[in-house]
Amino acid sequence: MTDYRDRITIEPGKRGGKPCLRGLRVTVYDVLEYLGSGMSQEEVLEDFPDLEREDLLAALQFAADRERRSVAA
* pLDDT (tens digit per residue) in 44-61: 999 999 999 999 999 999
Angle at 50 between CA 45 and CA 56, to 5 degrees: 50
What's residue 40's pLDDT? 98
What's residue 69's pLDDT? 81
What's residue 71's pLDDT? 76
The pTM of the full predicted model, rounded to 2 decimals, is: 0.88
CATH annotation of 4-72 = 1.10.10.10
Domain limits of the chain? 4-72
Spatial CA neighbour of 27 closest among 41, 16, 43: 16
pLDDT tens across 2-42, in order?
Answer: 689 999 999 999 999 999 999 999 999 999 999 999 999 99
